Amino acid sequence: MDLIERFLSYVAIDTCSKDDSPTCPSTEHQFELGKKLAKELSDLGAKNARVDEHCYVYAEIPANTEGQPVVGLIAHMDVVNCVPSANIQPRRLRYEGGDIVLNEDQNIVMKAADNLRLAGQVGHELIVTDGTTLLGADDKAGVAEIMALAEYLLTHPEFPHGTVKIGFTPDEEIGRGADLFDVHGFGADFAYTVDGDMPCGIEYENFNAAAALVVLHGHSVHPGSAKGLMVNAIKLGMQFNSLLPVHAVPEATEGYEGFFHLKSFTGEEETAELRYIIRDHDAEKFELKKEQMRNAAAAMNLLYGEGTVSLTIREQYRNMKEIIAQHPDVVARAEEAIRKAGLSPVSVPVRGGTDGARLCYMGLPCPNLGTGGANYHGTHEYADADEMRQVVEILKEIVRAR
């Protein structure tokens, strides 16, 4: 199957994950894609292709050359749930420059001035949405590229390679993709997540990350007789948020700067909930941000009474740099592969995270590669088909026998 045909068949399946779900996977519909991938791998001739009870997909392509390391390739199947993810209407176009009209009826336009990467994609085939949903390139582009590599290796026995392990995970977008990943059973010496953007990218620095849930308890009283009695939980939430540093937010930070990001704010007078993510590359600053959250909760409880604010902080992943620094050969292998594919490798700190960040601390060195996708987590998300094909060539060079 053609790479882009694969990709389009995968984005047609709604696989959004949900962070308020206690199950793994967090949504049952992720199994639809997991089972599809396991079957496709089995049909191609991969060994031990399977999807387990938690929607992790595993498979193996046996070595045809001795003395090679076991290389793992990993991508995630889920997409974010903060943007519509069902009934995606992808469209293929040859980009000739300028703005892209995504939806003429609704006057939705992707402006070239706001998407500087487009300047280098003139003449490329792009896959866009109709501007009302995400595309799912994060990370179904990575899934499709790994599947295209698997098909190539299994239909070209003359191509020399060691054992290749394949893994697809659920729930990465909610920070739980590595929770039940079987690192020991996977059996790779090292691995790469294929979950970035530019195909020349090799990423091994990422945020330290945590999720925070703030629950505020007010006291609802009829507004006509509320004086001295009502405590409005919605206003408590506004006050709590005001206690955090005003400029430490995504829209005011870049590079290595961390932030607090208020993802949702729901509630009524009696009870309100605020959900945050906390991010910082620096471990000490990360701990300080968590302490700032705790101090804000303590101040509110001191002012309004104990139990007014409850705060739960759940760590999601850590900066992989500390682990990858011990395995420079893994980065060097990827950089060599990128050069052999005709590109110059670029490494920038990831203002996000991947399953690889968690897997590094579970004993599997796992930096991140690009996919050819862009504008992730939004309705202007798109994928560059030409760049996706370049990624497949990079993956070939990564697994090629030395």
What SS3 class is residue 266? strand
Identify which of 379, 386, 375 has the alpha carbon closest to the alpha carbon of residue 94.
Answer: 386
Pairwise CA distance, residues 252 & 244, whole Å: 14
* CB-CB neighbours of 27 under 10 Å: 19
Q: Is the Cβ–Cβ distance between 34 and 59 less than 8 Å?
A: no
Measured CA to CA in angstroms, residue 97 lies from 83, 105, 109, 337, 345 at distances of 27, 21, 13, 30, 25
Of the residues 14, 40, 172, 203, only one is catalytic, namely 172
Residue 315 annotated in active site: no
**Residue 230 phi, psi dihedral angles, 5° rounding:** -70, 135
Residue 387 annotated in active site: no
Across-strand partners of 213? 275, 312
Of the residues 14, 19, 78, 151, only one is catalytic, namely 78
CA neighbours within 13 Å on the CB side: how many for 258?
A: 24
Pairwise CA distance, residues 117 & 111, whole Å: 11
51 residue type, one letter: V
Rounded to the nearest 10°, the torsion over CA 275, 280, 284, 288 is -30
Catalytic (active-site) positions: 78, 172
